[in-house]
A and B are shown apart, each in its own frame.
Chain A
Amino acid sequence: MTEFRSRFRTLVDGSDAPSDADHHIFIGPQHPWAEEPAHFIIHVKGERVVEADIRIGFNLRGLEKAMEAKTWRQNTMLIPRACGICSAVHQNIYVRIVDRLAGVEDQISERAKLIRMFSLEAERVHSHILWYGILAHDAGFDTMLHISWRDREMIMDIVEDISGNRVNPALMLPGGVKRDIPKEKRDRARPLLDELVKKVEYHKKVFTEEISIRNRLENVGVLTKEDAKKTTPNGPTGRGSGLPFDVRKSYPYELYDKIDWNLVYYNEGDILATTLVRIDETLESLQMLKQILDQLETTQGELLVRIKPRIAEGKYMTRAEAPRGEDLHYGIANGTDKPERYKIRSPSLGNIDATLKRMDGEYIADMPVILRSYDPCFSCTNRVMIINDKTGEKLIINQDEFARKAIKAKKYNRPFF
């Protein structure tokens, strides 16, 4: 019983610590390792972890309650804020729920669906590259961090080109998409994608052949298939442990059943397996992106179907494969223009139990890598674009430069440009 009880159970006075542990390490709620607030408690005996636990709830924003107070249309722009980095997938599930409840599901054109998929797959690529970059950093291999993040800029440029934003494309609306991907943007994206495929193949070579990183990841934090069935991780965490379930395959949405792609899963269950799942998925997503661009050449259709603000009574649960795993939303409409209830279950919560199970009996030195394996997220909006409204001149600068310029402009009382 004690072996498979759920975590999240630490008492504040520490009276439930396992008796054979001799030290207790507290990580968080604020800690340089973690970008988001979570409190990990690690009970150790010597160099080995006896048990790990977690306390959550430091970042409650009340999104579900806020959604009940806003209209369905306003929520379209609130829902991507559920997550800093996988914003498109939250928006995708939301618009599919509204499409279904408003009864326009069948009227969404193939072109609109392809553009939605382009946004989703581009997001998966940049999220996965970001993740294995940080994983390499946690394993003490900073060169890989810089290499992978340098290459990630290519996909960020594509996302920015098609949507105007780097991490929050917000391309989708109930009834379709906001804007088209025109021919010149498709042509600009193709060479970048070809280049990125070569780079990601190189990343894969580093992770599989470089001995120093392999030693840090191989046979570390093994989660067997039996344990995975009990702790039920989702997404890449589960697929690394031999649970071959991806919502895109197991319950296809948009046009994932009509496009050519392979399901990636490994049976080893260690951190290297989850890493390779993500790298292989990145390559799959990149070839899907190319397919989508080719299909956009020939597929035509209305981009947006009109939806009335009042949504008829009904309820619908649907899921999507976010970069981190299975994302579930459940919407209930009551006939007015506001939702009756809206539930969001983002993938990370389901993965914490399995991740803490991985740590039992491992070395303290492997802790950062294992804790990173379920992919905590943070946003990277570190620059702005300023457009001079008189001349139309564009200026892209980073945060420091922006601050310097702003201070100077204020100090000497002169225009920003």
Chain B
Amino acid sequence: MSETLKELEGILNVTLPENLVEEVIKVEEGHFDLLSSASNAYDLMKILHGDAGIYYLSAITGIEREKEFQVCYHLQHRIEEEFREVPINFILTKIDKGNPKTPSMVDFYVSADYYEREIYDFFGIYFENHPFLQRLILPEKWPDDVRPMRKEYSWEQLKEITLNIARQISEDD
């Protein structure tokens, strides 16, 4: 582990404290997975954004695992002189399923705003200190307790809910 961590530190030109990092996996040449628990993620992101100068966030993925939720920040470390990018998948682990909470990264990335809202919308994961954590994509009449991307909802169930909303709207008109 430490060898991969050293390689990543060499590329980013920073020191990543070992107590914050859970694991570093080298996916392929110049492509890393960086795992950290949700409680340490904010401090680690401060180093990645501030000291390492990663300004580009491609996307955020919400993932449902058997025992926990995960949130993956797809960062790109850009080396402008060489026209090169080093993708880093910064994965936040250990998000409790009963009370899903994780720190918001809006302080560092403007684009984190809507990607996080999308995950809040689809998975019901709360991003602490997000200034505007409201629904982004799902319709206004969608029931609040249904988080469609969770495994507990099947395609058929969601179809039923959607049809009910449509029926309700047409009746209201």
Contact = CB atoms under 8 A, between A and B. Distances in A.
Interface of A: 4-6, 8-9, 12, 56-57, 60, 62, 64-66, 69, 229-232, 234, 244-247, 249-251, 263, 316-317, 319, 326, 328, 330, 332, 341, 343, 345, 349-350, 353
28 contacts: A5-B110, A62-B148, A65-B149, A65-B158, A66-B155, A231-B111, A232-B55, A244-B80, A245-B78, A245-B83, A246-B83, A250-B78, A250-B83, A250-B84, A251-B84, A251-B87, A317-B27, A317-B72, A317-B87, A319-B58, A326-B58, A328-B58, A328-B59, A330-B74, A341-B61, A341-B63, A353-B110, A353-B114
A249 B63 CA distance: 29
Contacts of B50: none
| Residues of B contacting A: mostly | mixed
Residue in B58, B137, B139, B155 whose Cβ sees the most chain A Cβ within 10 Å: B58
A232 B154 contact: no
Interface in B7-38: 27, 30-31
Given A244-B83, A330-B74, A345-B59, A65 B155 contact: yes
B137 A56 contact: yes
Contacts of A8: 113-114, 117, 136
Given A244-B83, A250-B84, A343 B61 contact: yes
B110 A343 contact: no
B85 interface: yes
Contacts of B109: 232
B64 interface: yes
Given A5-B113, A8-B114, A231-B111, 15 more contacts: A5-B131, A6-B110, A6-B113, A8-B117, A60-B138, A65-B158, A230-B55, A232-B109, A232-B110, A244-B83, A245-B85, A249-B84, A250-B85, A317-B72, A343-B61
| Residues of A contacting B: mostly | mixed
B30 A251 contact: yes
5 nearest A-B residue pairs (beta carbon): A6-B113, A345-B59, A57-B137, A250-B85, A343-B61
Interface residues of B, number: 39
Given A65-B155, A251-B87, A345-B59, A350 B111 contact: yes
B110 A56 contact: no
Given A8-B136, A57-B138, A231 B85 contact: no
Given A65-B155, A250-B84, A317-B87, A232 B57 contact: yes
Contacts of B137: 56-57, 60
Contacts of B93: none
Given A57-B138, A245-B78, A62 B111 contact: no
Interface in B45-103: 55-59, 61, 63-64, 72, 74, 78, 80, 83-85, 87, 89
Contacts of B111: 6, 231-232, 350, 353
B61 to A, nearest CB: 4
B114 A6 contact: yes
Contacts of B148: 62, 65
A231 B112 CA distance: 10
A57 B139 CA distance: 7
Nearest to B117: A8
B139 A330 contact: no
A229 B149 contact: no
B56 A232 contact: yes
A57 B136 contact: yes
Contacts of B113: 5-6, 8
Contacts of A245: 78, 83, 85
Residue in B114, B117, B136, B138 whose Cβ sees the most chain A Cβ within 10 Å: B114
A66 B149 CA distance: 10
A65 to B, nearest CB: 6
A5 to B, nearest CB: 7
B104 to A, nearest CB: 12
B58 A345 contact: yes
A30 to B, nearest CB: 15
Contact of A330 (B64, B72, B149): B72
Interface in B105-160: 106, 109-111, 113-114, 117, 131-132, 136-140, 148-149, 154-155, 158
